Structures are given as C-alpha cells and as structure tokens.
Amino acid sequence: MSNRTPLNVADYRELARRRLPKMVFDYLDGGAEDEKGLAHNRSVFDSLRFKPKRLIDVSQRELATPLFGKPQAMPLLIGPTGLNGALWPEGDLALARAAARAGIPFVLSTASNLSIEDVARRCEGELWFQLYVVHRSLAGQMVDRALAAGYRTLVLTTDVGVNGYRERDLRNAFKMPMSFTPNVLLDGFLHPRWSLDLVRHGMPQLANFVSSQATSIEVQAALMSRQMDASFDWQALRWLRDKWPHRLLVKGVLDEDDAARCIAEGVDGVILSNHGGRQLDGAISPIEVLAQTAASIDAPVLVDSGFRRGADVVKALCLGADAVLLGRATLYGLAARGEAGVDEVLRLLKDDIDRTLAHIGCPSVQQLSPAYLDLQMPSAPDRSAVASLPPRELARR
C-alpha cells in the first residue's frame, strides 16, 4: 500500500499485518481449525444481492436508529473482543472512546486488558459489559462490579463452553503472558513499532482477573487453564437474570428456538453470532437464521460475524437485524493506527452505509426491508420467514 490512504477494511487489515508480529496478527485474524467458518461468513454476504428501487428521493439519508428505545447515530456497535492491549496500548480505551465519538455503544470484554472500572472511569460513552462465565462465583463478582461501575447492559456469551481449536495460535504458542522464545524475540525485532510500544507500556494482562477476590484454589485453577463453565445452562441463565437488574442480552445464539426461549426467560434481546468463526468451524453464519429469528421473537435482534463493509450491514438490516456488532473490522483499524484508526474505520463504514442507501433507493435505515434484496436467488434466506418479518418502523425497537 506504501503511502496510499486506506480505502476499506481490507486496507487496514494489511496495515495491521505489517505492524504486528506474526503471532499477534494471527491471533487477531485467525479462526478455528481449517478456518472454513471465516470464509463462509463472507460468502454468505456475497450470495445476497440488492434489488434497488428507483425514482426515490434519496437526496437526504438518515442513518440514525433507535435501539432499546434510545437513539444512536447509526446501527452499529463495537463488539466485545479480548486482549486488545496486545494490538495497541490501552486498546480497550481507544475502542471505547472511538465508539463514544461515533455515537454508538462499546461492549467491554471480560478478557479486556483494562478493568471494568478503569474503562468506565475514563470514557463517557455508552458502555456495555460482556460476561464470560469462567467460574460461577467469579462471574457473580464481575456482574456486581459492572453494576457498581455504572454499566446498564450485560451481554452473556454462550458459545464458549470450551475454547475453540485455533491452530494458528497453537502453532505460534500464543498465550498471555507471552513467552519470549528466540522466534518471538526475532519477530519483535522485525516489528519495532509494536515492540517499542510493548516496552513503554508493559505486557498486557487480563485486568478483570487481577483481583483479590479471585483467591479460591478452584477459581485460580480455572483462570490458569482458561476453562469456561461448560455447565452453564437455562437454570443458570435464570440465576443471572435474577441477579442483573438491567438490560440482559444473550450472545452466541444460532437457533430461532433458542432465541425464543431466551426471551421467554426474561432476556431483553439476542445477538446472533458464530464468534467470528473462532469457535466451531462448521457453524452456520448468523445471517442464515437472521430472518427466521427476527420474525419469531418480539425483541431486538443484533448480529455479528464477518462484517467488513457497510453494504454487509445494510443487508443484515434488510433481514431484520436491529444493529450490527463489529469485531475484526475495528480491530484492524486499532492495530494499524490506534484510536485514530478506529475512528477512520467507523467513518468508512458509515459512509459506505450511507452510499448503499442512496444506491438502493432507501432514504433511511429504518425503512429497510427484505424488498431491497433479491430473494429469488437459490442462496437467499427462507422466503416464508422473510415474509413474516414485521415492518421495521412497527417492530420492537
């Protein structure tokens, strides 16, 4: 790319690849097993085609949309991602501040490198907290901490009963804290900008786990092995619903019946996700069950996994999504240029959404519907499910 201005997320990915050591870039970029899930997430978007409307006044276009009754600047969030401090110093804070400037929420991961309290104290935007249940008692402590720190939306991730088999990470022996083998030291020497940042700011740590409360032998053993609580079930979800007094979302859903049961258990919305292809390599894309899910529940449906362009976002909104969570897209910007890079990626996506609305003849994201997609294609979603989608302006926003 030399000195050319990045024009899309792929350009930021290339800048990130150049700046990061291979093992860190592979952690950011990689998926589970053969990484077919990564490719499938993208191919699903490629299989959807727009059916534009003409002679529509699109001289003014509106990206603002309500989510859970609150206005936000565009139908995006920065989703929860872990170990962001390995990509850029205080990466979690950079993402949170960029989201605040863009007028969208930021979801802090349990596996963040800045603590729940630190991010809340240093960023004034809308903050959500994502919960991994490593150990039930520790999860309860984190929920209490998030509540005390002022978070009002809790996101329970349910698709990590065990860690995905990420072969890139295994081959690189990637872990935190890093082991400084000769290969790692050589890679760091070849990426001096990243290495200097590491020297200046120190090795990132899992800040939410550096707590005097995580003292039991059982909890410490779970932390050391990165074990998740694979026993977390519907009864445990009821425990969490009773414990958390504010908005609760369940992330990792890929089945409309599971989504319906979540709502029946008192959950406020679901996030369709296959963890960006990082868990089960053979999982379906959330886009493939989006229309069915949106039609089957009377609650907001959010979605992530594989979004790289604003046109991808528009396609998801046409199929019933209320908003889209970004993962790797904004992380590429972070890894390439820090906080400014996140700003730039969000601006690119916003402009892309706006341009796509103009091209398809839709003046507002709130007017998007399946009518803007060609559902005659063999790979298109189930037409019966799409037909039962409620009008966007009458839906549960």
Q: Which amino acid is at 22?
A: K
In the chain, what are the domain boundaries? 9-107+165-228+274-394
Please report the pLDDT score of residue 181 as a whole number: 81
Q: At how many degrees (to 10) do helices 192-201 and 182-189 cross? A: 110
Q: Is 246 a catalytic residue?
A: no
Q: Which amino acid is at 58?
A: V
Name the class of domain 9-107+165-228+274-394.
Answer: alpha beta
Here the tokens at position 391 are: 């009008």
Instruction: Give the helix/strand (H/E) hosting 70.
Output: strand 70-72
d(CA 214, CA 22) in angstroms, rounded, equals 33
Q: How many CA atoms lie within 13 A of 40 on its CB side?
A: 22
Structural contact between residues 286 and 256, judged by C-beta atoms closer than 8 angstroms: no
d(CA 351, CA 112) in angstroms, rounded, equals 29
Supply angle C-alpha 178, 180, 182, rounded to 5.
Answer: 145
Please report the pLDDT score of residue 226 as a whole number: 56
The single residue of 40, 135, 191, 275 carrying the catalytic annotation is: 275
Radius of gyration of the chain (CA): 20
Please report the pLDDT score of residue 390 as a whole number: 73
Strands 65-67 and 70-72: antiparallel
* Phi, psi (rounded to 5 degrees) for 395: -80, -175
The answer, as to whether pTM is greater than 0.85, is: yes
Which segments in the chain show pLDDT lower than 70? 1-3, 211-226, 377-384, 387, 391-397
- For the stretch 11-50, pLDDT in tens is 999 999 999 999 999 999 999 999 999 999 999 999 999 9
How many other CB atoms are found less than 10 A from the CB of residue 33?
15
Here the tokens at position 71 are: 């206005």
What 3-state DSSP class applies to 29? helix
- For the stretch 163-175, pLDDT in tens is 999 999 999 998 8
Please report the pLDDT score of residue 396 as a whole number: 45
d(CA 176, CA 174) in angstroms, rounded, equals 7
- Write the DSSP string, 262-310: HHHTT--EEEE--GGGTS-TTPPPTHHHHHHHHHH-SS-EEE-SS--SH
Structural contact between residues 82 and 352, judged by C-beta atoms closer than 8 angstroms: no
Please report the pLDDT score of residue 198 as a whole number: 87
* Phi, psi (rounded to 5 degrees) for 388: -90, 5
* Phi, psi (rounded to 5 degrees) for 32: -85, 145
- Write the DSSP string, 266-277: T--EEEE--GGG
- For the stretch 95-124, pLDDT in tens is 999 999 999 999 999 999 999 999 999 999
